[in-house]
A and B are shown apart, each in its own frame.
Chain A
Amino acid sequence: MTAINITDWNTWYGDFQVLNNINSEFKDKSITAIVGPSGCGKTTLLRSLNRTAELTDNFRYEGSILVYGHNIYADKAEDARRHIGLVYQTPVALPLSIQENVLFGPRYYGERKRDRLTAIVENCLTQAALWDEVKDKLNKPAFELSGGQKQRLSIARALAVNPQLLLLDEPCSSLDPLSTGLIEELLVKLAMNLPIIIVTHNLFQARRIANETVFMLNGKIIEKDLTQTMFNNPSNEATRSFFSGAIG
C-alpha cells in the first residue's frame, strides 16, 4: 500500500529552486532511505512532508503531497505536523523532565487522564528502546541523558502524538556506533507499524535498514528502487558513481 504520493513537487527558497519536479511514492510499513550528496535537497524533501520546510524564510512550493490520500497542504500546517513526526539531526531534549518530554505533545492535544499519560510514557519510551534505561528516573531533567539517549527520547516524543508516519533527518550523524545500532534496531521494529523515511549520509545505514532507497542529485530524484537493487545493480550511471564513492 502507498503511504505518500508526491506529484509535480517543486520548491524554492527565494529565487533558488531546491526541488525540481519530484514525483514519487513511498510505501506503508517500510523504511525508505533518502541519500545523495550535500545540498541535493534531501532535507527539504523530508521537511516538505511535514510542512516544517515553511519555517524557513521565503519558502515557496508547487505541486501536491498526499499522505494516505489526504492533501496535507490543504490543512493548517500545525495539523500536518501533528500527524507526521519529525526527528532532527541534533538530538533535542526540551528543558523538562524525561517524562514531560514524552508528554509534551499529548498534554498540548488535551490528554489529561493520569493513567493514559502514564501509559503513553511507558509505551513510547519502550518503543524508542529507552524505557529500561530511564524508568527509575522519569522525573529527572532530560538534559542529563547522553546524546544517544536524547535522540531516542526525541523519537519517543514524536511517537507520543501517534504520528501516521515518522521522518528522520540524519538522526545518527552525531551519535556513536552503539547508539546508532540501537536506533536502527528500533526503527526496523517501528516500521512494522508505520512508514519511516530517513535521510542519511551513511550508505551502510541505508543498506542495513532501508527496504527502499531514493537517490537524489541537484534537487531531483535520480533513481528509486529496492535497496538491494540500488546497491548491486543501479540502472543510472550517476547512482552507480555515488554508491561506488566516485561522487558525494
Chain B
Amino acid sequence: MNKVIDSFLIIIFWGSGLFLLLSLISLIAYLIVQGGSALSLDFLRLSPAGSPLGTEGGILPAIRGTLHLILIALTVAIIPALFTGIYLTEYAQPSFLLNTMEVLIQSMAGVPSIITGLFVYAWGVVQLGWGISLLAGGIALGIMIFPVMVISIRDCLRAVDSDYRLAGAALGVSPAYMLWRIILPQSWRAIISSILLAMGYAAGATAPIMVTAAAISSPTSGNLLEPVMALPYHLYILFNEHISLDNAYATALLLVIMLLILNSAALALTHNGTKSRR
C-alpha cells in the first residue's frame, strides 16, 4: 500500500514540476516567437515614434524610466526594510507589540498594489502637489516592496544557526556585535538575493505606477517631478490601444528577460553562499 502511495506521490511531484517548467518555457518561447524579431538593438536605443506613438521606434525611455523607478523604490525601502528585519529577529522580545508588528507587515504585504498606488496618488500626487511623477511612482513601488523585503530579510536572518546567538549571549556580547561579526557575514548573500527579487517585483508592477507616475510618452529625463515611461505600462498601452502588437511582444520579452536575469543572479548568490559554507 505504501509503495502505491509513494509512486502516486512521485507522479504528482513530477507532474507539478513539469507543469511549472512547461508553463515557463512555453511563455518564453511564445514571447520569443512573437516578439523576437522586433527586439532589435534599435528597439533598445530609440524612443517611441510614429503615429500613434509606439508603432515605430523603440523603448529606451521606458527602460530608463523603469530603472529610475526601481532605484527610487530601493532608496525608499532598503534601509527601513533591513532595520525592521534586524529588529524583528535580533532585538525584539516576544511580546504583544512584536506579534502586532508581524501581523501588520503580513497584511501590508497583502494590500493590493493598486491601493498602494491610489494612496500615494491621494497623498503625494494631489495633496503634496507632486503631480504624476517619477518621485510618486518610486515611492509607491517602495511602499509596495517594503513589507515583502522585510519578510524575506527577516527569514534570511532567521536562517542563521541560532546556536551562534546562544554562544554569543553566553559571552555577554551585544546583539549589534553578534550581527556585525556573525549574523550579517552569514546572511548577506541571501539578503542581497532577496533585494534582487524585490527589484524584479518592482520592475514588473503596473498598477501602482499607472496612477502615480507613468506616461504614454515622456523623455524620462530623470527629473523627480516629471512623469516617466515604464516598461510594464508601455506594454499595457501598446496592447490595450492596439498600437503595435509586435512592439508589445518585444517589450514583454525584454521585461521577462530582465526578470530572469535578476532572479538568476539572486539564485546564483544564494547557491554559491551555501556551497562555500559547507
Q: What residues of chain A have their CB less than 8 Å away from a CB belonging to chain B?
A: 50, 52, 55, 57, 77-83, 85-88, 90, 92, 94-96, 104-105, 108, 154, 157-158, 161
Picked from A52, A96, A154, A161, the residue with its CB within 8 Å of the CB of B169 is: A52
When distances are taken between beta carbons in the complex, the residues of chain B under 8 Å from A83 are 172
Are the CB atoms of A95 and B182 closer together than 8 Å?
yes
Indicate if B25 sits at the interface (CB-CB under 8 A): no
Chain B: which residue is nearest A108 at the CB level?
Answer: B173
Indicate if B166 sits at the interface (CB-CB under 8 A): yes
Are the CB atoms of A82 and B172 closer together than 8 Å?
yes
When distances are taken between beta carbons in the complex, the residues of chain A under 8 Å from B181 are 94, 96, 104
A104 to B168, CA, bound (A): 8
The prevalent SS among residues of B at the interface is: helix
Shortest CB distance A97–B (Å): 12
Are the CB atoms of A88 and B170 closer together than 8 Å?
yes
Are the CB atoms of B167 and A81 closer together than 8 Å?
no
Q: List 27 A-B contacts (CB under 8 A).
A: A52-B166, A55-B166, A77-B172, A78-B173, A80-B172, A81-B169, A81-B170, A82-B171, A82-B172, A85-B171, A86-B170, A87-B170, A88-B167, A88-B170, A90-B163, A92-B167, A94-B168, A94-B182, A104-B168, A105-B171, A105-B172, A105-B173, A108-B173, A108-B177, A157-B167, A158-B170, A161-B172
When distances are taken between beta carbons in the complex, the residues of chain A under 8 Å from B185 are 95
A50 to B172, CA, bound (A): 9
Chain B: which residue is nearest A86 at the CB level?
Answer: B170
A57 to B171, CA, bound (A): 20
When distances are taken between beta carbons in the complex, the residues of chain B under 8 Å from A52 are 166, 169-170
Picked from B163, B173, B174, B277, the residue with its CB within 8 Å of the CB of A104 is: B173
A95-B186, A104-B181, A108-B177 known; A157-B163 Cβ under 8 A: no
Chain A: which residue is nearest B164 at the CB level?
Answer: A94
Give B92-120 as 1s and 0s: 1 = Cβ < 8 Å from A's Cβ atoms: 00100000000000000000000000000
When distances are taken between beta carbons in the complex, the residues of chain B under 8 Å from A96 are 181-182
Are the CB atoms of A81 and B182 closer together than 8 Å?
no
A104-B181, A108-B177 known; A92-B171 Cβ under 8 A: no
